[in-house]
Structure 1
């Protein structure tokens, strides 16, 4: 009999709507015969009426409870897992609220505002024997799993360089919008750059055995800031790892360029005419992944030419079953981990989330990007 995960949805914005719509897709359509998902409760911090409206709009079955506060949601005994869908600025407070109440947590990316907050959440989950995961949904796409496997099998030789870009090209955000609002930890880095870093880490870091993974040995960065709010508008990171993959060659390093911007677009015509947003380059060829980096539709493997033999390029499509968005794959992973009593997912471990947060901390430090004290704080509870 399939395990049924009972979800509580914390916040009712656009990302929560997309996630719930995916939860409601038939899991058998994507070959997930072993897990199902039920939304048992929804909460809005503004009002119970807003939660009820969310339930009606999406037509969530089963008469889920509607709450006008997050405290009510996390104390509902009919909820097993809380999906935290608030802005980055609120992740630490909201995820901690759920963990303190004894609930498993899937928290939207970026995990928190800084690494110090992430470490506290991890320690709390470990102490309370609860599952906790950063919701980097792209990690769980079959495409991502396949690309990592190809690297580990040596398909393109030893990988020495990766470039990754996730940029939206919308320079006209209103200063109050969460994308550029420092009070909501806005800016390109935490919202978009996390995907560029995800591709860097899942290819150069995650493809090594855990015992061989090493944090970057150097990070250099540059940043352009929003003229009104001071949030980062464009950020470019040059990252050196003291390792290579998959063989971890002695006395060699690998390099990555991770880019993100609100002013230029890595997929300008929204038809992928720009082709790869990610290039993974090895000694025997490269893998190119089409944009957008957060939801790639296809990848191709380009071997290095050997003598006069024609190069055979393989192109692989990434379909989204049941016309879904792709968030159901991470939800399936959460359900299986909770079912099996795991506290973290091997695909997006606590340790890796923290290392990536530390990279973003360093990039912000290098460029003087500081968020308001309240949202950088590790104190709990704080009313935001």
Structure 2
């Protein structure tokens, strides 16, 4: 089979953009892919020199790294450095834009890319608020362009195995759900301008970390065969304010799927997450427990209920499904984007606009119900 090649323009040269670009440079066959390949056609940064440094870094990968394959096999051939983002959007050699900027810039960057006629993969959270997201969706529809939130966890091998377990029906009806993403950032030792502390960059735990407990809420509860509520609502919230800059130190929100169950979600910058249980779905016949970290989980367990309350599940079963060796884990979503665009799709069935809207709506409720510096801020929809 002839591989179809998707040509990427990379916006931003920070950490997540680096890892994504590295994965574009990994041999697709390492993850069993034979129909897709990727090329990096352009990189945009604050200066041409900065963009060129980013490209040079990708070209000089150590032989021990999976992404060293790309420089030898044409992934970076002809890659153009640009000293601004607009030139990447306008580059005729670019098919799709990857956006890895801070959350407050996602709407502006994605809108400009769509207006230039480019498909878009945008890092999470998709936008700052729901109004921004709705404008992007309307624009993608009007221009017949692909648009997707980059929730990489959904495309990992483990996510597929979780779906199979739920579809089997062995766990029974969900009764309760909990998930969190917590890290001890030691914030007092970080400068106030740091992206996790700066309100102007969407700082705090909610927008940066909240997508991860949310992805497990969507995979384990919302997509569960027992669920019929397509619009689950936040029914309770709480945010702890980090006083030095006014962002949220942690956020908690309770979501209800009517007729099914409730889910408690947590993001926290003050405490490490629990190693053995970053997400737990408790069901009528047994429980499904996902190990930390929520963004790149490699192991989950199906476990019996406590002896006093037995269910049909009588023994523990462990599933271990790491991402393919040499891949950071972002390659899977890039492959999905390539297949969708090749098929002429503007929306991905595994990461729908509807589900992005649900999660974005949760964040809006939590943020507007709290007392952080982001509470009254509005996005740039219509601008």
Asked whether the two chains share a fold, i.e. TM above 0.5, the reply is yes
CA shift, 1:208, in A, is 4.3
Q: Which residue of 2 aligns with 1:354?
A: 357
Per the alignment, do residues 373 and 97 of structure 1 end up closer, same or farther by CA in structure 2, a change over 3 Å counting? farther
Q: Which residue of 1 aligns with 2:128?
A: 113
CA shift, 1:39, in A, is 0.6
- Determine which of 363, 367, 375 is the counterpart of 1:364: 367
For 1:310 and 1:42, locate their aligned partners in 2 and report how far apart those are by CA, in whole Å. Answer: 51
Q: Which residue of 2 aligns with 1:57?
A: 57
| Post-superposition CA distance 1:160-206 (Å, at most 9, x none) | 21110101111323211001110001110010111111111221112
Per the alignment, do residues 302 and 176 of structure 1 end up closer, same or farther by CA in structure 2, a change over 3 Å counting? same
Output aligned runs, 1:199-218, within 5 Å.
199-208=216-225, 212-218=228-234
- Which range moved further: 58-67 or 26-35? 58-67
Output aligned runs, 1:63-82, within 5 Å.
63-82=78-97
- Determine which of 155, 159, 169 is the counterpart of 1:144: 159
Q: Which residue of 2 aligns with 1:230?
A: 246
CA shift, 1:316, in A, is 1.4
Per the alignment, do residues 154 and 52 of structure 1 end up closer, same or farther by CA in structure 2, a change over 3 Å counting? same
| Post-superposition CA distance 1:313-359 (Å, at most 9, x none) | 11111222132110001011100000001111111100110111011
Q: Which residue of 2 aligns with 1:160?
A: 175
The DSSP-based 3-state class of the residue aligned with 1:40 is strand
For 1:311 and 1:157, locate their aligned partners in 2 and report how far apart those are by CA, in whole Å. Answer: 13
Structure 1: tracts of 5 or more residues without a match:
243-251, 268-273
The DSSP-based 3-state class of the residue aligned with 1:321 is coil
Structure 2: tracts of 5 or more residues without a match:
60-70
Q: Which residue of 2 aligns with 1:271?
A: none
Output aligned runs, 1:166-205, within 5 Å.
166-172=181-187, 173-205=190-222
Per the alignment, do residues 372 and 42 of structure 1 end up closer, same or farther by CA in structure 2, a change over 3 Å counting? farther
Is the contact between residue 26 and residue 322 of structure 1 (CA under 8 Å) also seen in structure 2? no
Q: Which residue of 2 aligns with 1:249?
A: none
Is the contact between residue 187 and residue 231 of structure 1 (CA under 8 Å) also seen in structure 2? yes
Is the contact between residue 89 and residue 375 of structure 1 (CA under 8 Å) also seen in structure 2? no
Is the contact between residue 156 and residue 303 of structure 1 (CA under 8 Å) also seen in structure 2? no
Per the alignment, do residues 373 and 93 of structure 1 end up closer, same or farther by CA in structure 2, a change over 3 Å counting? farther
TM (norm. structure 1) is 0.90
Is the contact between residue 188 and residue 261 of structure 1 (CA under 8 Å) also seen in structure 2? yes
Output aligned runs, 1:317-336, within 5 Å.
317-336=320-339
TM (norm. structure 2) is 0.90
Question: How many pairs are equivalent?
Answer: 363
